[in-house]
Structure 1
């Protein structure tokens, strides 16, 4: 009987995992580089709350490390 219960318990645990997974958040944004001048449009994954303000805060520091200035966050979406 132990051989039947253990696989069922594992199966029940594994089937519950996708239900607890959080949806990924993506932000659509525009940025610029000054030297040489370049405009950038991209979509980036964002951790944390899926809001325009949260995306703006995350993207500003991330893009600054690449020499880019965030112009606007156009939208956020969960997928």
Structure 2
């Protein structure tokens, strides 16, 4: 398999993983009665979008959840 094929396979796996996480988050029961949970879900969804973008640039995304905030870092392997 050539480099492009491996990259394509890696991107498909990243999309698949990100998609499964997003689907899992969105399918959860309503938790709006718990203070702050909506912010956490919105921040995590935003972080997953950023992670997907970062992985397309050839970096390995790292998501750190700190309280209700999500920080996305990138690492080139």
- Give the alignment's TM-score, normalised by structure 1: 0.30
Q: Which has more radius of gyration?
A: 1
Q: Which has the higher contact order (CA 8 A, sep 6+)?
A: 1
Q: Which has the higher helix share?
A: 2
